[in-house]
A and B are shown apart, each in its own frame.
Chain A
Amino acid sequence: MGSKRDLEERARRALQLLLVQRHRKPGVKGWELRRSIGKNYLNILEYLNEKLDSYGLCIRMVYEGEETTPDQARFLVTVKDSIRMSEAISAGWRIDELAILAASIAYIASRQGSISSRELLRLLEVKFPSWFIEATLRRLIRYGYLERDGDIVKIGWRSKAEIDGGKLLELIVKMDVVSES
């Protein structure tokens, strides 16, 4: 791989690629990293990940569809620990939108990752007006948190990267509804 300086230089270039949003989607594909920083890009990302750790960030690899190799996967930088509610709100999210995302992901995950949009609407309509649900789902699909394939709604690539589905289900199962409400 060369000298330490070379490694630093490649890691710096990789970080730029990962952070600078050039398309609608954040992050970068594995093959783009390979082209820019060489075939050892996974080692360089590992080195960079260690460096980012001290700043509370980490690199994640996510498969958007049926891909199986790192070259086809998307790499992005996420915060390492969960954020606070106030931070989510100041980032432009409404509590109702976050609730819809939580409910959708939990329900879809419990159904092996895909359900019909009608079923999802039926669940959400108990709590929210349909115009609000539709607007929020459109937004979540646009951002990649959910995916729509005809009548089917799936968990999107972004949720796979950013949300710990197992923990979400666990917390929903364990939540103390009575004391909360």
Chain B
Amino acid sequence: MDLNDTPEQASYRERARAWLAEHRDEAPPNTGALDGEYLAARRAWQAKLAEGGLAGVTWPREFGGQGLGPIEQVITQQEIRREGVPNILDVIGVGMLGPTIIAHGSNEQKGRYLGPMLHGDEVWCQLFSEPAAGSDLAAVQTRARPAEDGGWILNGQKVWTTNAQFASFGLLLARTDPEQHKHRGLTMFIVPMDAEGVTVRGLRQISGEAEFNEVFFDDVHLSADAVCGQVNGGWTTALTTLMFERVTIGLGSEGLGYQEGRFAAVLKRDEAAVADPGVRARLGEIATDLLALRFTGYRMLTALQRGQIPGPEAGLAKITTVNAAIAAGDLIADVLGPEALGPDSDWAYMISFLPGLKSAGGTEEILRNTVGERVLGLPPEPRLDKGVPFSELRAKEREAVA
């Protein structure tokens, strides 16, 4: 059992650290409103990281990456955090969408999009979820119909779209054949966000901030070469993205910043809290969960190092993370009192942010279904949507609520 780097990893870490130390003065601050000057500075910083070999670490060299493994990716993240500088701006593009294009895109698409994506010149967004398609992603209703010129006409709505307000392109899952079964008639498209008929609207959450957007498509014309992967084979392409999403979230879970020491430091300032057995019991349980997550992460890294891809069990770590953080927010606010919920309080922000995070990347319920079926081998819930053309399914749904 060993938490240390191998000699190769240590020398990679050394190089990453040296580069960051040399360029840290060029980095923008860690936080800021993502528009105007700050946004430009974050794009420029991503370009620098890419030139330094610290973006797209796992991308093949021919596309500007380093051709290295997930461990080097993790080391890069650790060193960026250690240096206290911002990460790349477009984690979703570089971490999930770029690898999807590398796996399924045409040579023209790879040549056109990957370079500007890696350097932050063109930021990307993921246009998958819809108001009625979240946990059940294959239920997307956004419709792409063939246009007379061989292209496509797009209509529908997406939601929970991070970075859409400044994205140049989006990777979008649309229904192209509703007469096929739900998972079959889907196609993945590359959509220019400045196309006519695309409307982006910020979606404010409990905190008051708009972390996400809604995106509307009204008769948006796409050319034939906008298809990424096979027509009506979009589910396969989507599964690739979701696999990279698991990897990205799995590798980043330590990075959510929920660490027991940060919570303990606040409580330590209150003598009565430190002496209160109830407070101590709650702190002890929260810290236990967070420590377990750290070592679950190390176990996952060990598996990655051996060439294994994180499976659905990673969902359990996400459930623990969110619930431990919720418990920590509650405990801290119970100790500090209403002041913790004040307008300038970081805790108020955390407390407001977490209820939404509980559903992000799959609700707790759907994660438990997947883990129960795929890890424990429990039988699936009976399904009413298997083998039914999507159009019929929708008709049945409308009938049921009529």
A and B associate = no
Q: Which A residues lie at the B interface, using CB under 8 A?
A: none
Q: Which B residues lie at the A interface, using CB under 8 A?
A: none
